[in-house]
């Protein structure tokens, strides 16, 4: 009985029923350590972006990372504080203070839980492949730009959404050392798998570069130059905001935007990781996990978060495949905060920059550069558009723009495909065989197919090769029926599919003559005897 209950729980939260092999567990632990090291500067930088203390970003990375690792829809994904959310939070913090941010994060999480309960995460399937390519390419560029701020003199850099702000660039020997150490890290990551199998290549690169810097006493920027990461355990804290409608008016718009951005980025990351690992993830489960994580984070002094695509790529490339990897990353991060901050703060930024540069190289869809000349021009334009908008604004906005443009292009292409072939029945009636979907985009073209004045007294419109989709289609049929009725002629509709027939019936436009054709719908006469579609003619 207990075994059966555990198995059902494992199915519900997507946990493995059997433990991973010792080799996989070792790989997951080392991958988690690598991710945790890369999380530190990211969480600190994004806390600066949002205008909150560094520990607020680090606590968010720990809590969100831990909960989503345990209960998220895709083992191997990494979540934490992100720049896309931080750039939205900064105005809220500046105008109303950090307590309103905590309240907003709680409400953001509640909205995400509702989305998960309603299973709206499935709509991520509507994102076309060209949008995914543009998303991946824009992401790679954003990750690259975010690292450029590390090549500035510590203390002068103004962190922005993309990590590049004002400040003095390194020059001379410091710049040469920074570039050299970055190149060394990248070389170790590239050669590492050929030389050392037991340690993930990114971790090996960090260890080698940090060891050289510490041993030689090289003067180069380190993690501690960003901020101190020393702290205690996150404490339960109810946001100190008045429980009034005015407070809701302040935080609700931010919460909705943050929830949408967080879910879009998380679900796209889920799809990306699923493609790389060959295992599908649960979109609705990820929404629930992200929501629960943000609710808890808001009550423990964190800035909230969502999936971190760069760190997820590090984990996947390092061999992390199970929930142990993400869990280990979160717990290692907590250990850094509690006990190992002096050691972690000595890690050179060049090592972490080198890791992220390798992520950029591995993330960018290089084959898309050749695909631009092979795919339809609309798809190529969408790839470029999403890439540019991602860099100029944020990932979520770019995806929304890409989906809208793709949908409009799809609607236009289908609108131009409405056509009809004509034939005659033995009785002399003219038959219009409609080809293509009838919807708002093709409604005007549908009306132009008919020659009312030249047609005989009985006209049949055959929808076997078409489909009535929306109210605009009903209006188009109504218009054609009215024209034939005005000319004293009879119009018949044939071979309507079941769903089209139900649509017409619900709209009150269908006059049933014979109810013995469940497969194709019904033939309906329009004329002086039956009247037009709701037109009152």
Closest by alpha carbon to 399, among 252, 261, 521? 261
pLDDT in tens, the chain (537 residues): 444 443 443 444 444 445 678 888 999 999 999 999 989 988 888 888 888 999 999 999 999 999 999 999 888 899 999 888 888 898 899 999 999 999 999 999 999 999 999 998 888 878 888 998 998 898 889 888 888 888 888 765 554 444 445 568 889 999 999 999 999 999 999 998 888 877 888 999 999 999 999 999 999 999 998 888 999 999 999 999 999 999 999 999 999 999 988 998 899 889 888 887 777 778 999 999 999 999 999 999 999 999 998 899 899 988 898 999 999 999 999 999 999 999 999 999 999 999 989 988 988 889 888 888 988 889 999 999 999 998 888 777 888 899 999 988 888 887 778 899 999 988 889 999 999 888 888 888 998 999 999 999 999 998 888 888 888 888 888 888 889 988 988 888 888 766 666 666 665 544 344 443 434 333 344 443 333 333 333
Q: What is the 3-state secondary structure (H, E, C) of 278-313?
A: CCCCCHHHHHHHHHHHHHHHHHCCCCCCEECHHHHH
User: In angstroms, rounded to a whole number, what is the distance separating the alpha carbons of residues 107 and 230?
Assistant: 29
How far apart are alpha carbons 34 and 346 in whole angstroms?
A: 15
Q: Residue 227: helix, strand or coil by DSSP?
A: coil
Nearest 5°: the CA angle 490, 473, 127 is: 155
Lookup: tokens for 533: 């579609």
Spatial separation of the C-alpha atoms in residues 382 and 376, rounded to whole Å: 10
Beta bridge partners of 466: 436
Other beta carbons within 10 Å of 198: 9
- 221 with 353: CB under 8 angstroms? no
Q: What is the pLDDT of residue 55?
A: 94
First to last CA, the chain: 69
How far apart are the C-alpha atoms of 509 and 511, rounded to whole Å?
A: 7
Q: What is the DSSP string of 177-197?
A: HHHHHHHHHHHHHHHHHHH-S
How high is the pLDDT of residue 472?
85
Query: In angstroms, what is the C-alpha Rg of the chain?
Result: 29
Q: Model's pTM, two decimal places? A: 0.76
CB count in 10 Å sphere of residue 306: 31
Alpha-carbon span 289 to 277, nearest angstrom: 20
Neighbouring C-beta atoms of residue 289, cutoff 10 Å: 28
pLDDT for position 505: 63
The pLDDT value recorded for residue 533 is: 39
Instruction: Give the integer Cα–Cα distance in Å for 176 and 187.
Output: 16
* DSSP type of residue 350: H
Q: SS3 for 422?
A: strand
Please give the backbone phi and psi of residue 79, each rounded to the nearest 5 degrees, phi first: -125, 160
Predicted pLDDT at 525? 44
d(Cα 398, Cα 383) in Å, to the nearest integer?
A: 10
Helices (H), 322-348: 323-335, 341-344
Q: Cβ(406)–Cβ(131) under 8 Å?
A: yes
Q: Are strands 79-80 and 306-307 parallel, antiparallel or unpaired?
A: antiparallel
Domains in the chain, CATH or no CATH each? 23-149+158-214+221-363 (no CATH), 418-526 (3.30.750.24)
| Residue pair 133/364 in contact by the 8 Å Cβ criterion | no
Specify the pLDDT at position 415.
78
Q: What pLDDT is recorded for position 520?
A: 35
């Amino acid at each position: 009985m207990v075994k059966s209950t555990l198995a059902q729980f494992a199915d519900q939260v997507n946990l493995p029923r059997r433990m991973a092999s010792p080799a996989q567990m070792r790989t997951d632990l080392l991958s988690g350590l690598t991710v945790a090291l890369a999380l530190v500067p990211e969480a600190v930088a994004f806390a600066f972006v949002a205008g909150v203390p560094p520990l607020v970003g680090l606590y968010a990375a720990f809590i969100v990372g831990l909960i989503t690792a345990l209960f998220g829809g895709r083992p191997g994904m990494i979540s934490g504080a992100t720049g896309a959310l931080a750039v939205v939070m900064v105005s809220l913090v500046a105008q109303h203070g950090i307590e309103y941010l905590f309240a907003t994060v709680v409400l953001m999480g509640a909205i995400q839980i509702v989305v998960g309960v309603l299973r709206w995460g499935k709509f991520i399937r509507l994102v076309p492949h060209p949008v995914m390519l543009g998303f991946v390419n824009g992401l790679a560029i954003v990750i690259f730009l975010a690292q450029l701020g590390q090549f500035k003199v510590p203390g002068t850099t103004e962190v922005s959404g993309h990590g590049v702000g004002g400040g003095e660039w390194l020059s001379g020997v410091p710049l040469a050392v920074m570039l050299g150490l970055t190149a060394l890290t990248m070389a170790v990551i590239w050669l590492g798998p050929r030389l050392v199998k037991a340690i993930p290549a990114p971790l090996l690169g960090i260890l080698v570069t940090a060891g050289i810097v510490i041993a030689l006493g090289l003067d180069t920027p380190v993690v501690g130059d960003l901020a101190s990461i020393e702290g205690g355990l996150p404490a339960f804290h109810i946001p100190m905001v008045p429980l009034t409608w005015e407070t809701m008016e302040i935080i609700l718009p931010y919460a909705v935007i943050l929830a949408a951005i967080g879910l879009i980025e998380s679900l796209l990351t889920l799809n990306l990781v699923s493609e790389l690992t060959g295992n599908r993830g649960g979109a609705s489960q990820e929404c629930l996990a992200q929501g629960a994580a943000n609710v808890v984070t808001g009550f423990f002094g964190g800035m909230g978060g969502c999936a971190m695509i760069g760190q997820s790529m590090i984990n996947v490339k390092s061999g992390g495949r199970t929930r142990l990897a993400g869990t280990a990353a979160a717990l290692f991060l907590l250990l850094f905060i509690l006990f190992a901050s002096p050691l972690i703060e000595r890690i050179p930024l060049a090592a972490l920059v080198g890791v992220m540069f390798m992520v950029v190289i591995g993330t960018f869809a290089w084959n898309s550069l050749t695909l631009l000349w092979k795919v339809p021009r609309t798809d190529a334009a969408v790839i470029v558009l999403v890439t540019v908008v991602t860099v100029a604004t944020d990932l979520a906005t770019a995806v929304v723009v890409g989906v809208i443009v793709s949908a409009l292009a799809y609607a236009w292409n289908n609108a131009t495909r409405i056509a009809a072939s004509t034939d005659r029945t033995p009785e002399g009636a003219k038959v219009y065989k409609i080809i293509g979907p009838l919807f708002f985009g093709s409604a005007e073209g549908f009306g132009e197919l008919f020659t009312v004045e030249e047609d005989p007294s009985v006209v049949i419109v055959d929808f076997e090769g078409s489909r009535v989709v929306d109210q605009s289609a009903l209006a188009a049929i109504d218009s054609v029926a009215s024209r034939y009725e005005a000319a004293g002629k009879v119009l018949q509709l044939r071979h309507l599919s079941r769903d089209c027939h139900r649509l017409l019936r619900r709209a009150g436009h269908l006059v049933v003559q014979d109810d013995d054709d469940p497969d194709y719908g019904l033939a309906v006469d329009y004329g002086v005897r039956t009247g037009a579609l709701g037109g009152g003619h």
